Amino acid sequence: MIARLLALAVLTASLSAQNTVHYTATNANVKYLFATVEPVARVKSGDILDTNTLDCFGGALKKPGDTLSMVKGDNPLTGPFYVEGAEPGDTLAVKILDLQVDGDTGVGSFSPGFGGLNGTHYTPVLEPPLPERVWFYHIDHAANTATFKAIDSDFSVKIPMHPFFGCIGVAPAEGEARSSIVPAEFGGNMDSPEASVGNTVYFPVNVKGGLFYIGDGHAAMGDGEIAGSAVEVPLKARVQLSVIKGRTIAWPQFENDDAIMTVGAYRPLDDSVRIAFTELVHWIHKDYGLSDLDAYELLSKVAKIHLNEMVDPNYVVVASIEKKYLPARKK
């Protein structure tokens, strides 16, 4: 116990020594695109960002009877934040230090034309669309649960909370502007539970300053986000932003003490899996020294894949390997 308290004291002292940038997001200053625009604040490499995010509905849905027509736009984004020294070809490391659900109510919804088990714009069918529905979840902070309550019966069940960013990313390359609905090489709407406390996420820097965005807080989400929403919540967040000079990556990556993880975001789903695993082979070869074929063989035996979502314009898969299966990392 004494050792743990000392370690916590060292961590707290280390974080307090860092500069902290505070920012408040409101409906008046959020964005709906990942794009190259004027930053809302500037941070130095190593700084801690203390800010908030709105839920994916911008707080428009508050009570039974509210409808999706009241929502101004999907997935309002906090940012962008300019990181001093970040240049194309670098990597932006985002260490997620703390996430807290900012309120007592979460929202889930089904929107006609958006979901994994019904007709969509990409998979049209002749049957009539399913009806719009909105569910409200009571957040119990003390118990760390969100309560699902059925609309068509009196059933309810408590769901453990695991707060994470649904949207997290940087400005795309080549001056592109991408909707906050889209996941791709720049990150974006990845709906990855891996974007949570204790993990570091890496992004390719595509433009000067990186231009970092976050939003679309989730309190809990099932694999696939199959009906199109998680338990959608606003968040209070603390993240540390650091520039890694000379490290170039093509897709987002996650890392913690136990594993390395790579993202694939595309359609069809099998191409998402191929992207994620190809990136993981490259990472193992570059940082751990195994040949591509040895890494390929090893992954075939011990890798894991996580289907994050299959409802957005691109599907998202995360491939991972535990570090205990890898050689020592190259210096």
In angstroms, the CA 17 to CA 237 distance is: 18
Two tokens, residue 114 = 């958006």
For residue 96, count CB atoms less than 10 angstroms from its CB and return exposed for 0-12, middle for 13-18, buried for 19 or more.
buried
SS3 278: helix
Three-state DSSP state, 223: coil
What token pair was written down for 119?
């007709």
In three state form, how does the secondary structure of 166-201 look? EEEEECCCCCCCEECCCEECCEECCCCCCCCCCCEE
**Per-residue model confidence as pLDDT tens digits over 239-249:** 999 999 999 99
Burial of 201 (0-12, 13-18, 19+ CB in 10 A): buried
8 A C-beta contact, residue 148 and residue 159: yes
Residue 187 has pLDDT above 90, yes or no: yes
Confidence at residue 17, expressed as pLDDT on a 0 to 100 scale: 56
- How far is the CA of 272 from the CAs of 104, 253, 282, 309, 313, in angstroms? 35, 14, 16, 11, 12
Mean pLDDT of 32-50: 98
Across all residues in the chain, what is the average pLDDT?
Answer: 94
Rounded Cα distance, 185 and 175, in Å = 14
Tens-place pLDDT, residues 6-29: 444 444 444 445 799 999 999 999
Pairing of strands 187-188, 183-184: antiparallel
The Cα-based distances of 68 to 56, 74, 109 in angstroms read: 11, 10, 8
Tens digit of each residue's pLDDT (9 = 90 or more) over 260-294: 999 999 999 999 999 999 999 999 999 999 999 99
CA distance 202 to 83: 14
DSSP count for the chain of H helices, then E strands: 3, 21
Percent with pLDDT over 90 in the chain: 92
